[in-house]
Amino acid sequence: RSPGDAADELQSASTENLVFYSPHDPLAPVLSFGRIEVAFTWEGLTHNRMESLHLIRPTVYLGDDLFAFANRIGEADDTVPAAARPEPFRIGEFEVTDGRLALSLYGQPVVHLPLRFAASRENLVVRDFSELQLATTFTIPPSDLDYPAQDLSVRGLRGNLYFNLGQQSDGTEAENIVPTVFADTLTWKKLAAEKLSLSVTVNAEGLFGRANALLGGGSLDGGVSLLFRNGLPWSAWASVTGMESAVVTDALTPEQVRLSSLVDALATVSAEGKNVRGGWGRLTFQQGGRLQIPSVARLADRIPQDWDWIKKGSAKAALSVLEDYSFDQGEIRLTYLPPQGRLKLNLRGPQGLRDIDIQLR
């Protein structure tokens, strides 16, 4: 066999469990690969060509250490004169399978996200990783998720994953990773949200997300921010417009409470780690509705038999007022400032007023 034949013979190589760590913490992983497979010829390598590159089970650890790692690579590239930079490398077949995402805090993964990403591209031409992210579309393949212990399921989950680490195609600099996911339905117990979309931006400062969906004939919007700082401060908000509240109560409290009304609502919460610092919420019933508490009837059966008829009658009358009540307008307000909170229910209707004020401790 001639030397030329040997140079053209297809070679293969692989490595497993390759991990890159933060430049600030030698124990903090930022990027790992379960397996890397390459195919090449010696002749091809002399011309900057690789036949195939397959990345299997790569894991991206989302956190400030990841961006410190990307910045360190960028700084190293900046020290290389333009004339000394390598020629572009051509990859015949590039593939990513079973890619994973994990949220890292304090240098360690704390949440492995239930998402997988993949990519496939032929005749890929790149110089470095920053060009790889620009030249390749990373997708989140369609899947369904089931969590029986939480009575939670997701159907038709899919999306895209955008890596923006370094110079972009328009010449600007960006440092973030943006997973965008969609789902046909998300069901918790018997409550189903439809046409869900979620976009999360992760950068060196923190995580910032926006979501929206359809719920009970209305629209649901929300947002969350979590900062990579001491104490892990975070905040979240949610709003609902034009939702039929009976969809929620029928799914979650069918035997205790049924509230039928078109609802507009807004709620916010702020916290540090697991410690809630405060919250506020308001539900308004602009078009009236009906409040039913079937469990009140069972309370009436528990009225002591030794009460006199006046006391029994008064108790039953008070309970009947709560059992079934139609109203023209009303609202619910909730405030929480640890260690106490307050819940106020105010309803107005032809049967009179219903005002309930509860102190939470």
Q: What percent of the chain has pLDDT over 70?
A: 85
Cα distances (angstroms) measured from residue 144 to each of 154, 187, 204? 6, 12, 31
Same domain? For 158 and 260 the reply is no
Give the model's confidence band at 286: pLDDT under 50 very low, under 70 low, under 90 confident, else very high: confident
- Distance, CA of 211 to CA of 34 (rounded, Å): 32
pLDDT at 134 over 60: no
Strand partners, 39: 12, 52
Output the pLDDT for position 345: 87
H/E stretch holding 253 reads none
What's the chain's average pLDDT? 87
Q: Nearest-CA neighbor of 265 among 280, 251, 247?
A: 280
Output the pLDDT for position 73: 76
Output the pLDDT for position 321: 64
Q: Is 2 helix (H, G, I), strand (E, B) or coil?
A: coil
**Which whole number is the average pLDDT over 40-44?**
94
Same domain? For 88 and 146 the reply is yes
In a domain? residue 344: yes
Same domain? For 237 and 300 the reply is yes
In a domain? residue 192: no
In a domain? residue 349: yes
Same domain? For 94 and 153 the reply is yes
Query: pLDDT per residue over 73-124, tens digit each?
Result: 777 666 666 666 678 889 999 999 999 999 998 888 888 999 999 999 899 8
Same domain? For 21 and 169 the reply is yes
Query: pLDDT per residue over 201-231, tens digit each?
Result: 999 899 999 999 999 999 999 999 999 988 8
Same domain? For 164 and 23 the reply is yes
- The owner of tokens 């929206």 is 212
Same domain? For 151 and 45 the reply is yes
Output the pLDDT for position 352: 78
Same domain? For 106 and 151 the reply is yes
pLDDT at 247 over 80: yes
Query: pLDDT per residue over 172-198, tens digit each?
Result: 566 889 999 999 999 999 999 999 999
pLDDT at 135 over 70: no
Out of 128-132, 284-288, 339-343, pick the least confident.
128-132
* pTM for this prediction: 0.81
- Distance, CA of 298 to CA of 293 (rounded, Å): 10
**Which whole number is the average pLDDT over 19-43?**
94
Output the pLDDT for position 175: 83
Domain boundary among 187, 208, 242: 187
- Distance, CA of 343 to CA of 335 (rounded, Å): 7
Q: Which domain holds residue 279?
A: 216-361
Q: DSSP string spanning 271-290? A: EETTEEEEEEEEEEETT-EE
pLDDT at 20 over 80: yes
Same domain? For 233 and 330 the reply is yes
Q: Backbone phi, then psi, for 21, in 5-degree steps? A: -115, 165
